[in-house]
Amino acid sequence: MIRSFLRHGDVSNVTAWCSMGDIKLTGGGPIYLENSKSIGQEIEAEFVRKAEEAGFTDEEAKNAFNSNMMATGLLSDSPSEFAKEFNRRWLVSSFEAGDVVLHDAFARWCNIYRVGDGV
């Protein structure tokens, strides 16, 4: 459920998430991995290192990043295990219609239905 967005782009890029309606705490808005920027930077650096070692061109590396993730394009299909691996917590919130959340390209987040999912 955890993806990398804005891959191979400018590190100053940000993503905006906007709530189209009210979302309860258990309702499935985005959840953010606590202090995950450094984790995202490490994951991206590892992808770059592997691509360079394999002799990929920039274009090959850009396309290979996603194939190095799980077949579905995800970094992990278990948010709980991903957080445990990095000794972090998932940060959750309720949202009101029109709320906007901005995050940088290295933030790790996912959007899941939270009732009973173990997060």
Cα three-residue angle 119-36-42, rounded to 5 degrees:
125
pLDDT score for 30: 87
pLDDT < 70 stretches in the chain: 1-9, 64-74, 112-119
pTM of the full structure? 0.73
Collapsing DSSP states into helix, strand and coil, what is residue 16? strand
pLDDT score for 1: 47
pLDDT score for 119: 47
The answer to whether residues 92 and 114 touch, using CB atoms and an 8 Å cutoff, is: yes
pLDDT score for 99: 95
pLDDT score for 111: 75
